[in-house]
A = this chain, B = another copy of it.
Amino acid sequence: MEKLSTQPYKGTRDFYPRDMKLRNWFFGVIRKALETAAFDEYNGPMLESLDLYIAKSGEEIANEQTYNFTDRGGRRLAVRPEMTPTVARLVAAKMGELNFPLKWFSIPNLYRYERPQRGRLREHWQVNVDIFGCDTFDADLEVISTAIMLLRAFGADSSMFKMHINNRRFFNDVIATIAGTDAEGSRKVSKVVDRKNKIPREAYVTEMKNLGLDDEKIEKIDSLYTMSVDQATSLCPDSVGSAELLQLFSALRECKLDKYCVFDFGIIRGLDYYTGTVFEMFDEAPENNRAMFGGGRYDNLVGLFVKNTNISGVGFGFGDVTLENFLVTHDLIPDIYAQSTKVLVTRFDDVPYAKYAATVDKLREAGIVSSVYVGTKKFGKQIDYAVKENYTHVVILGATEVVQGTVKIKDLATHEEKTIEYYELANFFKKRK
């Protein structure tokens, strides 16, 4: 019979204990920081109706970029590619009972159907942080300061990352002001500006000229990319977006978070559902300088589910691959494999198994990570096993020790052996935990 492949599916990963320990560590840091900041965790199903993603992103993107199929009841399902439609659904379902503003987070696994590349796998885990039901800039500030807080929780400082911030209302208004076009015209110009960095300069200029913009106007738009928030907003002082930007940056300065933040007209986040503040977190390492994650304010998602409602949301999603890259790049991973006490109770044939079971029970009751050796291999093999599995100590309890009421402890780092009274065993390890 032909043997099955041992490889995981393309673009997905296996997490062996060492990998899992790392992921549990960094999501543990994040979970603790978010819980301390009074965010509540939620989750939802891995399979969702494909309609959720079609309604948000259109039929083509939903079909192409998600794993989707039809169940035997004719329902079109998708393996969730992102968490935002799910959380909007949860909020919509219990709108009347929920106590706004909600501060929610989740750490789901997500699937994207795309060609795997560095930092972009088909399966990843993503921290999602959202605030629902606060229309003022306070929620934007809270979400941005939370993103900064999460990186700081790992010991990262302002030399390592920078939050780039823009505003979609401001973007639309300043384009309209400079281009002098009507609403429809501005929308078309915005679409070209959105693609500015994805197409050759020449093509960009041609497209802009086709929309009626002359060199001066094109240059004026160019200049926005290097302006401070004060300069940029002075171009359209009456825009609600300008006011929002100024208010946000003023609060960031007040809270001494401005050293982590910068105004960046280049942050648009596609022409999708964002309506106000948008932001992207950049890794500042020269060799890794790029956006790690982004987010912003979206006002209409809950409205996909419930008529005549407008519960605004603001949030971001931050993937595990990106986070790990960032931590590795800046050497922010402590020695999580460092050996905290882990005790293997070795076995001999001439001592009843019950003695070993009782010993390990005693150690575990005292909170000491411990195990009886599983199996009947010779003592030397048991020691080899203990060394390879990062045990710090072995407990030796042979017939002699049992008769004497003692126990021998071998420290696997120093190779020292020590004989103590059996009843002192748990205390011995408790002291050095």
Chain A contacts to B: CB under 8 angstroms: 3-10, 12-17, 20-21, 23-24, 35-38, 40-49, 51-52, 55, 67, 69, 71-73, 75, 77, 79, 89-90, 92-94, 99, 101, 103-104, 109, 111, 113, 123, 131, 134-136, 138-139, 141-142, 145, 251, 254-256, 304-307, 342, 344, 352-354, 357-358, 360, 364, 367-372, 374-376, 385, 388-389, 391
When A69-B69, A90-B14 are in contact, do A374 and B101 touch as well, CB less than 8 Å? yes
**A306 → chain B closest CB, angstroms:** 7
When A42-B15, A47-B123 are in contact, do A374 and B306 touch as well, CB less than 8 Å? no
State A6–B309 Cα separation when bound (angstroms): 14
**A115 → chain B closest CB, angstroms:** 11
When A4-B304, A40-B17, A353-B254 are in contact, do A49 and B9 touch as well, CB less than 8 Å? yes
Number of identical monomers bound together in the oligomeric complex: 2
Residue from the list B15, B40, B391 in contact with A43, Cβ < 8 A: B15
**Residues of the B chain whose Cβ atoms lie less than 8 Å from the Cβ of A43:** 14-15, 20, 23
In the complex, are the beta carbons of A89 and B47 less than 8 A apart?
Answer: no
In the complex, are the beta carbons of A374 and B103 less than 8 A apart?
Answer: yes
Looking across the interface, which residue of chain B has its beta carbon closest to that of A51?
B4
When A20-B42, A342-B38 are in contact, do A255 and B353 touch as well, CB less than 8 Å? yes
In the complex, are the beta carbons of B67 and A385 less than 8 A apart?
Answer: no
When A9-B77, A38-B342, A138-B376 are in contact, do A15 and B3 touch as well, CB less than 8 Å? no
In the complex, are the beta carbons of B20 and A41 less than 8 A apart?
Answer: yes
**Residues of the B chain whose Cβ atoms lie less than 8 Å from the Cβ of A48:** 8-9
Residue from the list B8, B17, B388 in contact with A44, Cβ < 8 A: B8
State A307–B67 Cα separation when bound (angstroms): 33
**A149 → chain B closest CB, angstroms:** 8
Looking across the interface, which residue of chain B has its beta carbon closest to that of A314?
B374
**Residues of the B chain whose Cβ atoms lie less than 8 Å from the Cβ of A388:** 99
**A386 → chain B closest CB, angstroms:** 10
Looking across the interface, which residue of chain B has its beta carbon closest to that of A139?
B374
Residue from the list B21, B36, B99, B367 in contact with A389, Cβ < 8 A: B99
**Residues of the B chain whose Cβ atoms lie less than 8 Å from the Cβ of A360:** 37
Looking across the interface, which residue of chain B has its beta carbon closest to that of A6?
B93
State A72–B115 Cα separation when bound (angstroms): 11
**A118 → chain B closest CB, angstroms:** 18
**A359 → chain B closest CB, angstroms:** 11
In the complex, are the beta carbons of B305 and A3 less than 8 A apart?
Answer: yes
State A2–B145 Cα separation when bound (angstroms): 37
In the complex, are the beta carbons of A92 and B6 less than 8 A apart?
Answer: yes
Interface centre among A48, A94, A254, A368 (most CB of B within 10 A): A254
In the complex, are the beta carbons of B42 and A364 less than 8 A apart?
Answer: no
State A344–B99 Cα separation when bound (angstroms): 14
State A385–B101 Cα separation when bound (angstroms): 8
**Residues of the B chain whose Cβ atoms lie less than 8 Å from the Cβ of A52:** 4
**Residues of the B chain whose Cβ atoms lie less than 8 Å from the Cβ of A73:** 10
Besides A8-B44, A17-B41, A46-B111, 6 other A-B contacts (C-beta < 8 A): A36-B370, A99-B385, A101-B375, A103-B374, A141-B353, A142-B374
Query: What are 14 contact pairs spanning A and B, CB under 8 A?
Result: A3-B307, A4-B55, A8-B89, A9-B47, A9-B75, A9-B77, A15-B43, A20-B43, A38-B391, A46-B123, A47-B111, A138-B353, A255-B353, A255-B354
**A293 → chain B closest CB, angstroms:** 21
State A307–B1 Cα separation when bound (angstroms): 9
**Residues of the B chain whose Cβ atoms lie less than 8 Å from the Cβ of A8:** 44-45, 48, 89
In the complex, are the beta carbons of B17 and A369 less than 8 A apart?
Answer: no
When A55-B4, A138-B374, A352-B254 are in contact, do A12 and B45 touch as well, CB less than 8 Å? yes
In the complex, are the beta carbons of B371 and A136 less than 8 A apart?
Answer: no
